[in-house]
Amino acid sequence: MIFGKKDFIFKDVNQLKGVGIQLSKYLKRKKIEKIKDILLNLPYSETDRSKVCKLNQLEIGKIQSIQVTVKKLYFPRIRNLPNKIVCEDETGRIEIIYFNSREGYLRKLFPLNETVIISGKVNYFNKKYQITNPDYVTSLKNKDYVIKNIPKYNLTKGLNEKKYRSISENVIENLPKIDDWLDENFIKKNKLNGWYESIKNLHNSNINKDIQFKSFRRLVFDELCANFLSLSENRKRIKKNKLPKVFSNQNSNSIISKLPFELTNSQKKVLNEINLDLLSGDRMFRIIQGDVGSGKTIISLLAVSNIIESGYQCALMSPTEILAKQHYELSKKIFNKNDVKIEFLTGKTQYKKRKIILKDLENGKTNFLIGTHALFQKKIIFKKLGLVVIDEQHKFGVKQRSELAKKGGDNCDVLLMSATPIPRTMMMSFYGDMDISRVNEKPKNRKKILTLSKPEKKINELWPFIKKQIENLNQVFWVCPLIEESSFLDYSSAKKKYDLINKRFPNKVGLIHGALEKEEKEKILKKFLNKEFLILVSTTVIEVGVDFPNANLIIIENANKFGLAQLHQLRGRVGRGEKQGTCILLFKDGLSKNAIKRIKILKESDDGFFIADEDLKLRGFGDLMGFQQSGIKNFRFADPVIHLDLFELAEKFVKSINNSINHKKFSFLLKLFDRAEIINVTDI
């Protein structure tokens, strides 16, 4: 046993007594990998399950607790059909669904006509509220148990609560005293608690709520500091001296003069910010944030042209081949063929061709390489790489950003482009290591997308409108409901819809869904782009960024399943061309007040950042689907709505110690919140 040393908390959980191979597997499945994760796996959760909701106030998709009477139990004898328990309170009815549970067990858990407390994620299916495999079910007598002792993670098969608690207690009891990295005055002044006592308090359900509250805020503050520290360290490591690029803007001005449109002021401003970076003696590490369709691509290509003028090479990377191809075609159009040699490289590029491309990069003949992830393979050597541009980088976390910058070399500037709308308050905590440019103006000729909402049962009213679109050879996106986070169920619902629409419009419909291989998806998108069919039924996999100038209608089913920011991004797929774009949101009946508010915001605004801010206010951070799917690492404790003051405090704190960071002192903190790796990548 390794108790007694403070770094024991960074050891693997399997080092603990009583945690064997099997158990540690289960723990790891719950993201409890190191001993410190047990410390951070708090039995109190701020998303308070102790609040009991009435059935007419339930919010779909949220984990909630209800107090209901057991009315009926169904045990179908047919394989694969789930067991079902119908419960009620005075305001409504809900179904509790169990897959693979024995009848005897369920009868004990749900005594007929008795009141039980149930906690779990609420869904809405077949016009009924449902909870499938609830996290907790307990009798009224045991109410305290629900309120007081719920670990944050529900415990799955193999991980029994009693066992888990004994492991957790053992770790906390034996926690060696650890020196605090905050000094006492700071802690007092900001009404926090010491770290060591905070951990102990938070695992002790007999401590009063006020102290618990302060202790929790301490952990939030620590987490935020770890985040800001790692960002600031990353920035320091990247923004080092480089040779300034030398150019006169001659080429880029010539390109601008030939564009079929005028740059917006916002585009000009951002281009100017980029140019200043390129000309300066510090490496550029900048992100362009701008709504879908705000015209980020052309900005980056103008920067590319300046870099090429200054005698350097450029690389532009996109997440998908189809998007990369669009950039390639555009670049061939705007660059002068005689001056600029452009190549296109993906994983599929044939061996012979690839060999030539690599050679020409290495000897400097090629000025500009466009492609997919293939651009960053080891074998690819540039003679003089001066700028890396990454499009739609929403899957890039801090660690990847830092690796990317390293790969480019010391004189290489880095430019990222993102259309993921992020609330203003989150900007610093996600992109604090980068300089941020915002394109906050849409091209002048762009029409606002008409956004409408409709109950699903009136779907028949839509057919004539859709028919008209098809007759005019316009294209339509049809986004299907996300039923579960399961690609199979998504697929089956999209498939059904496809069959239905295909009957109405034979040979005019295509289907794309998450379970397809990437290559297959790209093939289908290409066909759609070439107008081989006119309606594309899809789950949410429609690529961000690909320009479908001919699509002007998007129908989104079950729209309340999506975050506002996500809906906004989805509707940005249409209305890029001359024609008026329309977005129709389909809803099930019985929208909550909140849902109605959300639709209103979407109808009224077309500013992605405003929408993201509002989304955050209405739904809270944990629910922002856009974030979960964007791959940006979520915080464990911090929530920008609840802890806004701590975000500000932590940012200020990190700035104040910035020049005198004692890495030894803070390395513990960085490790605690899994941020140390980022620093190591660039070698302290």
Residues that bind ligand ADP (CB under 6 A): 261-264, 267, 290, 292-298, 419, 443, 445, 545, 547, 576
DSSP letter, residue 159: -
Residue 287 C-beta: closest distance to ligand ADP, Å: 13
| Dist CA 620 CA 237 (whole Å) | 33
- Tell me the residue number closest to Mg ion, measured at CB: 545
- Could you tell which of Mg ion, ligand ADP, none binds residue 263, using a CB distance below 5 to 8 A set by kind? ligand ADP
> Which residues is 345 bridged to in the sheet?
371
**What's the residue count for the chain?**
684
- Could you tell which of ligand ADP, Mg ion, none binds residue 261, using a CB distance below 5 to 8 A set by kind? ligand ADP
- Could you tell which of ligand ADP, Mg ion, none binds residue 315, using a CB distance below 5 to 8 A set by kind? none
Residue 576 C-beta: closest distance to Mg ion, Å: 11
Residue 545 C-beta: closest distance to ligand ADP, Å: 6
Strands 509-512 and 535-538: parallel
What CA–CA distances, in Å, run from 665 to 181, 196, 226, 248? Answer: 6, 15, 12, 47
- Could you tell which of ligand ADP, Mg ion, none binds residue 453, using a CB distance below 5 to 8 A set by kind? none
Which residue number, 423 or 608, has a Cβ lying nearer to ligand ADP? 608
Residue 610 C-beta: closest distance to ligand ADP, Å: 17
> Can you state the angle between helices 608-619 and 593-604, rounded to 10 degrees?
170
Residue 397 C-beta: closest distance to ligand ADP, Å: 21
Which residue number, 38 or 419, has a Cβ lying nearer to ligand ADP? 419
Which residue number, 334 or 676, has a Cβ lying nearer to ligand ADP? 334
Element (H, E) at 486: none
Which residue number, 326 or 475, has a Cβ lying nearer to Mg ion? 326
- Could you tell which of Mg ion, ligand ADP, none binds residue 293, using a CB distance below 5 to 8 A set by kind? ligand ADP
Residue 319 C-beta: closest distance to ligand ADP, Å: 13
Q: Are 242 and 285 in contact (CB under 8 A)?
A: no
Rg of the Cα atoms in the chain:
28
- Could you tell which of Mg ion, ligand ADP, none binds residue 386, using a CB distance below 5 to 8 A set by kind? none
HSE toward the beta carbon, residue 27, CA cutoff 13 A: 26
AA identity, residue 403: E
Which residue number, 371 or 545, has a Cβ lying nearer to Mg ion? 545
Which residue number, 96 or 299, has a Cβ lying nearer to Mg ion? 299
Q: Is 444 exposed, middle or buried (0-12, 13-18, 19+ CB in 10 A)?
A: exposed
Q: Which two tokens stand for residue 306?
A: 């300046």
Residue 48's contacts (CB-CB under 8 Å, 6 or more residues apart) are none
Which residue number, 26 or 431, has a Cβ lying nearer to ligand ADP? 431
Residue 224 C-beta: closest distance to ligand ADP, Å: 30
Residue 573 C-beta: closest distance to ligand ADP, Å: 10
Residue 675 C-beta: closest distance to ligand ADP, Å: 31
| Dist CA 445 CA 438 (whole Å) | 20
Which residue number, 184 or 578, has a Cβ lying nearer to ligand ADP? 578
Residue 387 C-beta: closest distance to ligand ADP, Å: 17
Which residue number, 481 or 545, has a Cβ lying nearer to Mg ion? 545
Cα distance between the two ends of the chain: 31
What is the SS3 assignment for 119?
Answer: strand
Residue 50 C-beta: closest distance to ligand ADP, Å: 44
Residues that bind Mg ion (CB under 5 A): 545
Q: Are 252 and 339 in contact (CB under 8 A)?
A: no
Residue 559 C-beta: closest distance to Mg ion, Å: 24
Residue 173 C-beta: closest distance to ligand ADP, Å: 55
Which residue number, 386 or 545, has a Cβ lying nearer to Mg ion? 545
* Residue spans of beta strands (DSSP E) within 158-294: 285-290
HSE toward the beta carbon, residue 114, CA cutoff 13 A: 14
- Could you tell which of Mg ion, ligand ADP, none binds residue 521, using a CB distance below 5 to 8 A set by kind? none
| Dist CA 553 CA 530 (whole Å) | 17
Residue 290 C-beta: closest distance to ligand ADP, Å: 5
| Dist CA 473 CA 602 (whole Å) | 27
- Could you tell which of ligand ADP, Mg ion, none binds residue 576, using a CB distance below 5 to 8 A set by kind? ligand ADP
- Could you tell which of ligand ADP, Mg ion, none binds residue 224, using a CB distance below 5 to 8 A set by kind? none
- Tell me the residue number closest to ligand ADP, measured at CB: 295
For 263-320, where are the alpha helices, taking DSSP H only?
265-279, 296-309
Which strands make up the sheet holding 285-290, listed edge to edge? Answer: 342-345, 368-371, 313-317, 385-390, 413-418, 285-290, 435-439
- Could you tell which of Mg ion, ligand ADP, none binds residue 403, using a CB distance below 5 to 8 A set by kind? none
What CA–CA distances, in Å, run from 574 to 45, 237, 499, 543? Answer: 41, 40, 23, 12
Element (H, E) at 244: none
Q: Which two tokens stand for residue 80?
A: 């694969």
Q: Is 291 exposed, middle or buried (0-12, 13-18, 19+ CB in 10 A)?
A: buried
Which residue number, 154 or 629, has a Cβ lying nearer to Mg ion? 629
Residue 525 C-beta: closest distance to Mg ion, Å: 15
Which residue number, 217 or 573, has a Cβ lying nearer to ligand ADP? 573
HSE toward the beta carbon, residue 351, CA cutoff 13 A: 0
- The C-alpha angle 24, 30, 32, rounded to 5 degrees, equals 60
Which residue number, 293 or 421, has a Cβ lying nearer to ligand ADP? 293
- Could you tell which of Mg ion, ligand ADP, none binds residue 588, using a CB distance below 5 to 8 A set by kind? none
Which residue number, 545 or 563, has a Cβ lying nearer to ligand ADP? 545
Which residue number, 152 or 447, has a Cβ lying nearer to ligand ADP? 447
Buried b (16+ CB within 10 A) or exposed e, 322-359: bbbbbbbeebeebbeeeebbbbbbbeebeeeebeebbe
